[in-house]
Amino acid sequence: MKTHTGMLVSHLSKDGNKIYTSYLDGTFHGGYTTMWLSSLHKGVEGKDLVYDVALKELVNYKQDLKDGKDVAIHVEWDIKDDYSEYIACRILKVVIKNLDEI
């Protein structure tokens, strides 16, 4: 088993309809993804265990996104040695910032 840490930072588009999420793991691999704000609800499911856990946490910060804040979700996850399967994912902390504070 291998353990990794990373962060997913989400913010709302200027028109208020789309959530942009950038991600970065401890090995500095990163990228971004988007989703409609209307898709962020209690039953939301992510594409894998890490996104699933992070999106379920992000639901709790939907109003912060609407208020124009960035929501950074710091996570730690365990994966099999051969990277074939996620084992577990944990939220380490959530940081909320106004865009003008970054």
Residue 100's pLDDT band (boundaries 50, 70, 90)? low
Among 1-5, 25-29, 55-59, the least confident range:
25-29
Q: Using alpha carbons, select from 27, 80, 73, 84 the residue that is nearest to residue 51.
A: 73
Contact status, residue 4 vs residue 77, Cβ threshold 8 Å = yes
Give the type of residue at 2. K
CA gap 89, 24 in Å, rounded: 15
Indicate the pTM of the whole model.
0.88
Tens of pLDDT, residue by residue over 40-82, are 999 999 889 999 999 999 999 999 999 999 999 999 999 999 9
